[in-house]
């Protein structure tokens, strides 16, 4: 009987440890947004499932500063949001020289993607609203 109790206790401790590790997952979103996106581009980077907020922030900034875009956009990278157990999405108009960009952090991947696309459409201009595409999305600790 004692062996069964010990095994159950060990399983409970292991489960709590795994759950505690998942609860510590953090994410961050960094954006580099010049005043003229059409001319100077747009940079973004995010992280998810980091061990802590500082690590999430550093990773997101590193990705943003290495984005394949104009140097001006990369130089403006800053953290716009940190999150835990949420989803992030970035959308943009893929045609060069267009202003459409959007991003979101939300409770679900579908919500983040929908909001990022809507924000992109709002900045894309009349002739390009339907051109916005998701460039990336993912979820933290979910």
pLDDT value, residue 70:
85
Decide if 87 is inside a domain: yes
Decide if 7 is inside a domain: no
Decide if 8 is inside a domain: no
Three-state DSSP class for 63? helix
Decide if 61 is inside a domain: yes
Decide if 43 is inside a domain: yes
Structural domain boundaries enclosing 43: 25-139
125 phi/psi in degrees, rounded to 5:
95, 160
Decide if 1 is inside a domain: no
pLDDT value, residue 69:
86
For 60, half-sphere exposure in the C-beta direction (CA atoms, 13 angstrom radius) is: 28
Decide if 64 is inside a domain: yes
**Total number of domains in the chain:** 1
Distance CA(6)–CA(21), nearest Å, equals 23
pLDDT value, residue 22:
45
Query: How far apart, in Å, are the Cα atoms of 43 and each of 28, 113, 119, 123?
Result: 14, 17, 16, 15
| Residue 80 DSSP label | E
pLDDT value, residue 117:
97
Q: Are 41 and 99 in contact (CB under 8 A)?
A: no
pLDDT value, residue 97:
87
**Per-10-residue mean pLDDT, the chain, length 142:** 36 33 75 92 94 96 93 94 95 91 96 96 90 93 68
pLDDT value, residue 142:
60
Please report the beta strands in 33-124, taking only residues with DSSP state E, as ranges in sequence order: 43-50, 78-83, 87-92, 101-106
Decide if 73 is inside a domain: yes
């Amino acid at each position: 009987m004692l062996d069964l109790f010990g095994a159950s206790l060990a399983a409970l401790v292991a489960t709590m440890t795994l759950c505690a590790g998942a609860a510590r997952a953090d994410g961050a979103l960094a954006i580099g947004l010049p005043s003229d996106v059409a001319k100077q581009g747009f940079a973004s980077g995010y992280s998810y499932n980091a061990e802590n907020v500082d690590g999430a922030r550093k990773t997101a900034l590193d990705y943003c500063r290495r984005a394949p875009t104009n140097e001006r956009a990369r130089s403006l990278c800053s953290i716009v949001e940190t999150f835990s157990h949420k989803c992030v999405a970035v959308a943009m108009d893929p045609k060069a020289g267009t202003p459409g960009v959007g991003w979101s952090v939300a409770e679900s991947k579908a919500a983040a993607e929908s909001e990022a696309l809507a924000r992109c459409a709002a900045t894309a201009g009349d002739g390009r609203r339907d051109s916005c595409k998701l460039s990336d999305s993912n979820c933290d600790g979910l």
